[in-house]
Structures are given as C-alpha cells and as structure tokens.
C-alpha cells in the first residue's frame, strides 16, 4: 500500500501557486490522488512520499531510453558548458537535422521548435501558406497540442460531436475563437466514407489533413488497413498537405516512426517527445518544396528552438537509436507485457480489446473492436480506472487516464514486466 499523505501535502502547497496545483491540466488526477515526483531513474520513479513505481507513463511518451539516462545526460552536461543559447546555428543542430532526414523516410528538410504544440502550429501555417487555402481536416479524439487551430473535438463528451455524417467540431476550451471552428472539419477516425465525402465536397478548399498515425491520445486506436493510404491518395489528388503528427509515434514505433512502420510518405510530419529522451526539442519536417517556402514570406522561429539541452539530448538519443537495437528491445518487452495482460484478462473472463504497438499500447474493456473515439467512449472506463488505482497502489504506474497509452522504454527489464504481470494477476483476483 502506498502512502499518499505526503503527496496530498505537496498538492495543498502547489495549489496555492498553480491552478489545480499543476502546470498542465493533464497532470491533475484529483484531490489526494495526484502524484508529485521526486526523481526517476531508468524505468522507475519515486514520488515525494518515497513511494517507488515501475513507470509506464514515460512523461507522456518522451522517455524512450530511460529516466536520467547517463549516456544522454553526459552529452548534454558536456555541451551546455559551451553555452546554452547564442542566437546562432551550431554544427550540432545540423547533425541532428541530418540524422532526422536520414532516419525518417518522408522528410527532406526540418526546422526545430520547442514543443509538439509549436511544431503542429507551424506545420498548419506552412500548409496554409503553401496551398493558399484555409480549411483543416482533423479527426475526433486526435490531439495536436494546445494551440487553437486544432484544439477541437479532442476530449468532449462524444454526444456533442453530432451525427457522424455531419460532425460538429467542439472546442476543447473556453477562450478559443468561435470563428476558428469555421476553418476546421472534424471526422471520426477510420471513417473511409466520411473522409471521401469531405474530399468530394471541400477538397479544393482544404489546406491540410492532420492526423496522428494511431490515436495516441485516445486509447492508441490503430488505423484500419488502408485508412492512412486513403488519406495519402486523396490529399495528393486534391493538392492538400498531409501532415502526419508523429509527436508520439516518432522515434518510438520504429526509428523512422510511422512513416517507416506503414511505408507512408506524408508531405509534412511533426516530432517532439522521443526525439530527445525528454530534453525539449521538437521539429517540423517535410518535403523540400514545401519546407523551402519558410523564410520566403512564411514565418517560423523562436528564441529557444535551438536550445542546447534539447539539441544535445536529441543528438545523443538519435545516435543511440541508430547504434543499438533500442526499438526491438522495447517491442520485445512491450509484446511480453501485452501478451501477459491479455492472458490475465482472458483467464479472468474479462473482455479487453488491445490497441497500439508494443512500445505504446492501450486496452479497454469491451467486446467490440474499437476504431474511433465514439466507439471507445462506450467502453467500461470505470473498470479501467479501478484497475489503475489498484496498480498504482501496488507500485505500477500507467496513466490514470484511460485515453493515455502505456509507454515503454529501453530500461524496462523483463523483471519489471514480470512484476507488473504479478501485480495485475493479484488485482484481477480481488475483483
Ligand atoms: C500527437 C501529439 N501532437 C502534439 C502534442 C503536443 O505536444 P507538446 O505537449 O510537446 O506540446 C502531443 C502531446 O501529447 C501529441 O500527443
């Protein structure tokens, strides 16, 4: 049993300076159950109460190698002694750009940013500038960061989304300009007919279709065979920029992300998270023809877009990804975990549907295959929450939010996986 008293005390203190006591709404789990971090090492974290957990949140995905990963931290520590920021481009940046272009099949050029939010915001502007059009297509349940252009139909109760033949874009926050809703078309993920209908009706007015390869912010729902390919085909037909948001999948599901995994070449792609093993670097990548409009009447930049910790962190992380079998190891451990959990649920007579990839997966309690957020919302989320509450209490920490996938890193050992499976066997017996 974990002692949460100290976390609750820290929460009380934090609430006095931060709304909800956190610096991101997603980090607030509720009163008395919101954890506060002390430290992390490898696949483990310790909260302020001294409780230890096997971590499956990996900071929402960035930690691909492990917490406080020496081989990355040593490079960063050495590099920052030569200066953090200079408002000049360094050769280290160029090396990171070169590695990205080499690793990601659809990308000829990149520009750096500080967060996934910035990367998608810039990508949307570039796509609008390149096409001279304004409309954006996005899928319900996908999340592309906190800017106002795509913060629509992300987590609203799906009843508010309207009929799937004519979805209503729902702003995810007060304060978002209503008028931006006129520039966005939302659709259920994996809706082949709906997508074709929208293309027929609005194709010539659409600047970009933006999509995560899988619904990394809604139960890791996978694309049905042919769906990403349909997007590719139709966007080509109508001269629309296809932006693949690889902020979660990039450098995680394969060295070349979803582009390599699905053999897909979008027009642009966005990155952050695993790119730097937690050091803050993001990127917008794309075809040379599109990227080269940047600086020719199209703005992109930022004081911190080449921050040394981010650049050095990305340099060290990408080098390790290229040199070692990182993703294969993660896939092996993740596969072992998924298979073990499936077996535990099946033996207990619980119908769980799994989605995602071994290094980034989710499950939901339902009998049916889940292909979009509307279907996902019908699953038994109370049971999921109950399991997570018990797991966290026993030292295994996936995200409490059922939309958020389980993330694995290179430091997760077979021992971690076996311990996790023991915890779940134990929990399931008590239900
Ligand atoms: C697919 C996707 N795009 C964009 C973002 C925004 O990235 P950031 O939190 O770095 O702004 C996220 C964050 O979770 C994401 O999952």
Q: What are the CB-based long-range contacts (under 8 Å, 24+) for 300-305?
A: 300/111, 300/113, 300/122, 300/125, 300/126, 302/113, 302/114, 302/118, 303/85, 303/87, 304/85, 304/114, 304/280, 305/111, 305/112, 305/113, 305/114
In 10 A of CB 255, how many CB atoms?
19
Q: In this structure, what DSSP letter does residue 176 have?
A: S
* Torsion angle, alpha carbons of 419, 424, 425, 430, to 10: 130
For the structural domain made of 5-68+325-430, what CATH number should be given?
3.90.1150.10
- pTM for this predicted structure: 0.98
233 catalytic? Reply is no
Q: How far apart are CA 393 and CA 32, in angstroms?
A: 13
- Look-up: residue for tokens 């939302």? 186
Which of 112, 247, 280 should be mutated for ligand 1, with most atoms under 8 A from CB? Answer: 247
Inform me whether the pLDDT recorded for 257 exceeds 70. Answer: yes
Q: What is the pLDDT of residue 1?
A: 66
User: Is 117 a pocket residue for ligand 1 (Cβ < 6 Å)?
Assistant: yes
CATH architecture of the domain 70-323 equals 3-Layer(aba) Sandwich (3.40)
Percentage of the chain exceeding pLDDT 70: 100
By the 8 A CB rule, do 356 and 342 touch? no
Which residues pair with residue 185 across a beta bridge?
137
The average pLDDT across 272-287 equals 98
* 245 given a catalytic annotation: yes
Task: Tell whether ligand 1 has an atom less than 6 A from the beta carbon of residue 248.
Answer: yes
Q: Kindly tell me if the per-residue pLDDT of 431 is higher than 90.
A: no
Q: Where are the domains of the chain?
A: 5-68+325-430, 70-323
| Cβ(144) – ligand 1 distance below 6 Å | yes
Q: Are 41 and 255 in contact (CB under 8 A)?
A: no
Quote the CA–CA distance of 185 and 207 in Å, as a whole number: 11
CA neighbours closer than 13 Å in the CB half-sphere of residue 32: 3
Provide the pLDDT confidence category of residue 426 given band limits of 50, 70 and 90.
Answer: very high
Q: Is the CB of 120 under 6 A from ligand 1?
A: yes
Q: In whole angstroms, give the CA distance from residue 60 to residue 404.
A: 8
**How does pLDDT run across 43-62, given as a tens digit for each residue?**
999 999 999 999 999 999 99
Please give the pLDDT value at position 4.
87
Measured in angstroms, how far is the CA atom of residue 237 from the centroid of ligand 1?
28
């Amino acid at each position: 049993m974990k002692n949460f008293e100290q976390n609750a005390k820290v929460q009380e203190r934090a609430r006095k300076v931060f709304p909800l006591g956190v610096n991101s709404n997603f980090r607030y789990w509720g009163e008395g159950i919101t954890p506060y971090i002390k430290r992390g090492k490898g696949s483990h974290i310790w909260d302020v109460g001294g409780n230890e957990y096997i971590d499956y949140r990996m900071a929402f995905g960035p930690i691909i190698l492990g917490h406080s990963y020496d081989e990355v931290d040593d490079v960063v520590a050495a590099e920052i002694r030569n200066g953090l920021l200079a408002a000049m481009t360094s050769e280290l940046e160029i090396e990171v750009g070169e590695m990205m272009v080499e690793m990601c099949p659809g990308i000829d050029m990149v520009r750096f940013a500080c967060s996934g939010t910035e990367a998608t915001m810039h990508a949307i502007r570039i796509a609008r500038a390149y096409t001279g059009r304004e409309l954006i297509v996005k899928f319900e349940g996908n999340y592309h960061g906190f800017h106002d252009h795509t913060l629509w139909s992300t987590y609203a109760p799906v009843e508010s989304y309207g009929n799937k033949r004519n979805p209503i874009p729902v702003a995810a926050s007060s304060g978002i300009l209503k008028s931006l809703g006129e520039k966005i078309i939302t659709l259920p993920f994996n809706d082949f007919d709906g997508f074709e209908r929208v293309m027929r009706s609005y194709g010539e007015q659409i600047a970009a279709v933006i999509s995560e390869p899988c619904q990394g912010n809604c139960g890791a729902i996978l694309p049905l065979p042919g769906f990403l390919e349909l997007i590719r085909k139709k966007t080509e037909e109508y001269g629309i920029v296809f932006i693949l948001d690889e902020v979660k999948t990039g450098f995680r599901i394969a060295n070349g992300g979803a582009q390599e995994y699905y053999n897909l070449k979008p027009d642009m792609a966005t990155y952050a998270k695993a790119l730097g093993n937690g050091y803050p670097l993001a990127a917008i990548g794309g075809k040379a023809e599109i990227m080269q409009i940047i600086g020719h009447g199209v703005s992109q930049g930022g004081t911190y877009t080449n921050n040394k910790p981010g650049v050095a962190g990305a340099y060290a992380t990408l080098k390790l990804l290229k040199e070692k079998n990182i993703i294969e190891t993660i896939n092996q451990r993740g596969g072992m975990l998924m298979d073990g959990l499936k077996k535990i649920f099946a033996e207990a007579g619980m119908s769980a549907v799994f989605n995602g990839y071994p290094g980034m997966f989710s499950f939901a309690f339902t009998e049916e295959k889940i292909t979009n957020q509307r279907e996902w919302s019908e699953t038994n989320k109370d049971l999921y929450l109950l399991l997570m509450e018990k797991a966290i209490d026993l030292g295994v920490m996936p995200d409490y939010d059922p939309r958020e996938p389980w993330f694995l890193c290179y430091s997760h050992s077979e021992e971690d996986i076996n311990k996790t499976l023991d915890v779940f066997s134990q929990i399931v017996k008590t239900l």
